[in-house]
Structure 1
Amino acid sequence: MSKDEIIAEIGMQLRLLQESFDAFDEAVAARLGLNRTDTRCLDIVLGRGPLAAGELSVQLKLSPAATTTVIDRLVRAGFVTRNQDPANRRRVLIEATETAQSTAAEIFTPVGQAGAKALARYNPTQLHTILDFLRTALEVHQAHTNT
């Protein structure tokens, strides 16, 4: 294959990977009885939380009212709680529950383990190249998302 053909094939594989991510995310949302915005919010809280609702609004790119609606659904589902910030009593933090953490582990740990097993076939130099590619792809994607 020529360099151009390889680059085209990488583009195609990235498109297929994105479609696979979307299908997986849809399946997770359906399994949890949530919508995609709810699962995006839950993912942010699990990964970066606890967070104030205003911080979640920024991360989700939603209005404060829409973010409150999402949080309400997640509270009813038992995946997040609202807790007073010990450093600022006027601020409420959104935090993932144990149920959310165990559910996330049940769903995502097998995928992470399978991915790690698949990557084990590469040597450290190849892994550095893969990591560099992923960082570059993320940077390019974010730059075009923000314009």
Structure 2
Amino acid sequence: MLLRQLIQLSDDFERHMGKELTVNPTDLQAMQHLIMRGPMSPTDIAKALGMSTAAATVVVDRLTKVGHVTREKHPTDRRGIVVVPAPESVARAIRGLLPMITGIDEVIHEFEPQEQAVITEYLRRVVKVYRESIPSAEDEAAHAEVRT
């Protein structure tokens, strides 16, 4: 099935990006969140990755060590810090992504607007199925309570 092949290729591309940036899959996910959202607190990173704050601190430590992020004072909370993606790392990631994004953009523009609408609706529905197939943190906690 083509959708399965697309998903596999997406996974392969993420592994490639991780190698290019010399990070593991978890650290790459953290970088993706930081690039998309901008500076985040370690707690927000933990929530985005579905892990403890202690585990997120280890991720941030690794990313700091290789120069992909810096820790800076929180702009409004004197006691807090934010994790900021390094501009050079963001540029490297974008350079890696841009050819693929451009290619995909060119492909969609080969279709008529009505065809684009059908493709968009199909992908919207696929995304919905995926989201509905992933239990939320609350669902997982409730399920864990039932088992104990």
Q: Which secondary structure state, in structure 1, belongs to the residue aligned with residue 110 of structure 2?
A: coil
Give the secondary structure class of the aligned counterpart of 1:89: coil
Aligned to 2:95: 106
Give the % identical residues.
Answer: 26
> Is 1:62 paired with 2:51?
yes
Query: Is the CA contact 2:68–2:86 (under 8 Å) kept in the aligned structure 1?
Result: yes
Could you tell me how far 1:49 is from its partner in structure 2?
2.0
Q: Which of 36, 50, 53 pairs up with 1:47?
A: 36
Correspondent of 1:26 among 2, 6, 15: 15
Q: Which runs of 5+ in 2 are unaligned?
A: 140-148
Q: Which has the higher strand share?
A: 1
Aligned ranges for residues 115-130 of structure 1 at < 5 Å?
A: 115-130=104-119
Q: Does 1:16 align with 2:33?
A: no
CA contact (8 A) 2:35 2:85 kept: yes
Equivalent residue of 1:109, what SS? helix
Deviation at 1:104, TM superposition (A): 1.3
SS at match of 1:83: strand
Match of 2:27 in 1: 38
Which blocks of at least 5 consecutive residues in structure 1 are unaligned?
A: 1-11
SS in 1 for 2:23: coil
Contact 2:17 2:93 in 1 (8 A): no
What's the CA shift string for 1:92-120, capped at 9, x where partnerless? 11111111211111100111111111111
Q: Which runs of 4+ in 1 moved over 3 A?
A: none
Question: Partner residue of 2:129?
Answer: 140
Aligned residues: 136
1:51-98 deviations in whole A, cap 9, x for unaligned? 111111111011111111111111111111111111111121111111
Task: Please say if residues 74 and 81 of structure 2, whose CA atoms lie closer than 8 Å, have aligned partners that are also in contact.
Answer: yes
TM-score by length of 1: 0.88
